[in-house]
Amino acid sequence: MRTLLIVVGTLGLTACAPETDGEARRLQTSAASREALTAAIDAIAAAALKSGPIAGLSIAVTQGGQPLLVKGYGYAEIDKKVPADPNTIYAIASVTKLVTASAAMILVDAGKLRLDQDLASLLPSFPNREQGRSITVRHLLSHTSGLANYESADAERWLTQGTPLNHEFVLDYLRDRPLDFEPGTRWSYSSSGFYLLGLIIERVSGQSYESFVREKIALPLGMNTTFQCDDRLIPAEMTRGYDVADGKLVPSTLYYEPNVRYDGGLCSTVGDLAKLPAAMGRGTVLSIAAFDQMTEPTQLASGVTVDYGLGVRRGFLEGNRLWGHTGGWNTFWSTLAYYPSDDIAIVVLVNTEGGAEDALTVEGKVARVVFDLGGRAASDQPVPPDVARALSGEYQDEDGRVQIFAQKDRLLRKIENSERPAINLLYKGDYIFGRPDYPLDRVVFHVLEGRSLGLSEYYNGIFYQFSPALDRPSGSMGAR
């Protein structure tokens, strides 16, 4: 599985590409091309199983809610020779965040919750009252709260002690921990915010999270195999997870992380998940106004706009606007991508960790087939001196400090103190860059008055992270 390195690009102060819908959307979805589409996706899955290696995966492609392809490949259980199929159930990890955000917005629709309400008033059990008064529901939903991500600590504890996650651990972890930044000034992915959102949903609704999601989202949409993962209740259709060791597939000791809930604890099928995005946009489970708020990008105090909404990753794939979410935990990988201009949903679920392929990589390859994007040469332009000056500097991402520097008429990316060589970024104009190794990735620089404030990275078109420039202030700069 590849290291998460996003391709570079920039669109002034936003990470939003122009929505050019013309020739880029030559869909291979007519009746005459369905057979060719299926054969092409079958080949993608076969290559992933072999080169990953991957034990099993399932793929759904729908248009207008109607299936173009819903299939499983490989095995849900290798030893028992149980094939993966459309009904195979996977842990969907952080795709759960899209569902949790929808649940929160249903409460907003009902007037029981407001986006500007503060954490301290909504959740009296939150231990740091001063912090809680500065963090709003919007901050939690948009990953701009500044709360540290509990997952790193919990992962370490789980691996060393086998202690299950619970509310007390998350609240304890946050008790005396300072915020990573002032709420609203930066974007940083944190599952802590969504865990707290789950507690808020339960407190405000008076129902358990699982009951609320099932009543308000799953049942109305016919998502009958979407439920809270429970290590005590493992249905026959549930796939086992696998690791890759020395190039071989090894069964994991767990099907999923027990007791993870609101930020990554749902299980589902590709068919169920494919029903969600179009229904959200049609006002089926929440109002159109609430949906529009979810899918709007987030503006930071600096004026930078990042392509993450309220529990929604946004993005663009060769001119095709998209939104959805990704997930990965233990041995499970998930990607849901929705292309609204064409009402196309692509869902990929994978049951293997440690291989060369994951759900996001496979989804990108499927999208290239669906939108007929194959065979395009990677464009590259000389980087003008003023652009090189504006973008050169140090940035902070989840791997540490990243150095962007010019060499002749090219721009390079290097992770500080890493043995990996610098990567030559391919300039596409308008501060947008690509990579020769991952042709659908983009890195977008955010530039104000000739200086970069940060960069947004996209994997296979889907927004992954925002990395601020380290020598730039994070507060308001009166951006135009």
Looking at the 3D structure of the chain, how many domains does it have? 2
**Could you report the per-residue pLDDT of 430-469, keeping only the tens digit for each?**
999 998 888 889 999 999 999 999 999 999 999 999 999 9
298-322 pLDDT tens trace: 999 999 999 999 999 999 998 899 9
Residue 24 has pLDDT above 50, yes or no: no
DSSP readout, 192-242?
Answer: HHHHHHHHHHHHHHSS-HHHHHIIIIITTTT-TT-EE--TT---TTBPPPE
The residue type of 18 is P
pLDDT band, very low/low/confident/very high, at 4 (cuts 50, 70, 90): very low
Q: What is the pLDDT of residue 23?
A: 39
Higher local confidence (pLDDT), 212 or 418: 212
Same domain flag for 311 and 400: no
Pairing of strands 298-299, 332-339: unpaired
- 471 vs 275 pLDDT, higher one: 275
pLDDT value of position 318: 87
C-alpha closest to that of 204 among 277, 113, 318, 280 = 113
Q: Alpha-carbon distance 264 to 280, whole Å?
A: 20
Q: Check residues 20 and 292 and name the one with the higher pLDDT.
A: 292
- pLDDT value of position 278: 86
Task: Say whether both 208 and 324 belong to one domain.
Answer: yes
Reported as type and span, the H/E element at residue 243 is: strand 242-245
What value does the mean pLDDT take over residues 354-373? 92
Given a contact cutoff of 8 angstroms between Cβ atoms, the answer to whether 363 and 422 are in contact is: no
Residues 223 and 355 in one domain: yes
What is the helix (H) or strand (E) element at residue 103, kind and residue range? Answer: helix 96-109
Query: Are 443 and 431 in contact, with CB atoms under 8 Å apart?
Result: no
The neighbour count for residue 134, using CB atoms within 10 Å, is 17
Give how far Cα 430 sits from Cα of 11, 275, 393, 451, Å.
6, 36, 18, 14
For residue 20, what pLDDT is reported?
41
Q: Could you tell me if 202 and 235 lie in one domain?
A: yes
The DSSP bridge pattern shows strands 7-9 and 451-459 to be: antiparallel
CA angle 90, 372, 6 (to 5 degrees): 60
- The one-letter amino acid code at 301 reads A
- Local confidence band at 1 (pLDDT 50, 70, 90 cut-offs): very low
Residue 445: which H helix or E strand, with range?
strand 442-448
Structure-token match 């002749």, residue found: 408
Q: What pLDDT does residue 285 have?
A: 92
Which residues sit opposite 111 in a β-bridge? none
Same domain, 169 and 271: yes
- Among the candidates 316, 351, 371, a domain finishes at 371
- pLDDT interval class at 6 (50, 70, 90): very low
CATH of the domain at 332: 3.40.710.10
The answer to pTM > 0.75 is yes
Residues 171 and 193 in one domain: yes
For residue 448, give the nearest of 473, 417, 429 by alpha carbon: 473
Shared domain check, 42 and 70 = yes
Task: List phi, psi (to 5°) of 339.
Answer: -110, 95
Of 371, 394, 417, the one marking the end of a domain is 371
Specify whether the CB–CB gap between 175 and 127 falls below 8 A.
yes
The burial of 116, by beta-carbon neighbours within 10 Å (0-12 exposed, 13-18 middle, 19 or more buried), is given as exposed
Cα distance between residue 292 and residue 367, in whole Å: 24
Q: Is the Cα dihedral 433, 312, 54, 37 positive or negative?
A: negative
| Measured CA distances, 337 to 138, 289, 312, 361, 363 (Å) | 23, 21, 10, 12, 8
- Give the pLDDT mean for 58-75: 96
Q: Are residues 326 and 421 in the same domain?
A: no
Please indicate, yes or no, whether residues 348 and 303 belong to a single structural domain of this protein: yes
Does residue 266 sit in the same domain as residue 384?
no
- Kindly report which listed range (10-19, 28-37, 152-161, 357-366) carries the lowest average pLDDT score: 10-19
Per-residue pLDDT of 375-414, as tens digits, reads 555 678 999 999 999 999 999 988 789 999 999 999 999 9
Instruction: Assess whether pLDDT exceeds 90 at residue 345.
Output: yes
On whether the CB atoms of residues 281 and 404 are closer than 8 A, the answer is: no
Residue 184: its pLDDT value, please?
Answer: 97
Q: How far apart are CA 320 and CA 357, in angstroms?
A: 23
Please tell me the distance from the alpha carbon of residue 453 to that of residue 376, in angstroms, as a whole number.
31
pLDDT in tens, 154-204: 656 655 666 667 788 889 889 989 999 999 999 999 999 999 999 999 999
β-bridge mates for residue 243, sequence order: 250, 353
User: pLDDT tier at 8 (50, 70, 90 boundaries)?
Assistant: very low
Give the integer Cα–Cα distance in Å for 444 and 250.
38
Residue 204 corresponds to which tokens in the numbers above? 């405000």
**266 lies in the same domain as 392:** no
Q: Across residues 345-355, what is the average pLDDT?
A: 95
Name the domain boundary from 355, 371, 387. Answer: 371
List, in order, residues 6 or more apart from 216 with CB less than 8 Å away: 103, 106, 285
**108 near 290, Cβ under 8 Å?**
yes
Give the per-residue pLDDT at 31.
Answer: 56
Write the CB contacts of 4 (distance below 8 Å, at least 6 apart in sequence): 398, 459, 464
Domain coverage including residue 11: 1-20+379-480
Mean pLDDT of the chain: 87
Taking only the tens place, the pLDDT of each residue in 189-243 is 999 999 999 999 999 999 999 999 999 999 999 999 999 988 777 888 999 999 9
Q: Kindly report the number of other CB atoms within 10 A of residue 384's CB atom.
A: 12
Instruction: Clarify whether residues 60 and 93 are in a common domain.
Output: yes
- Return the sign of the alpha-carbon dihedral for residues 243, 239, 336, 362: positive
Backbone angles phi, psi at 207, to 5 degrees: -125, 160
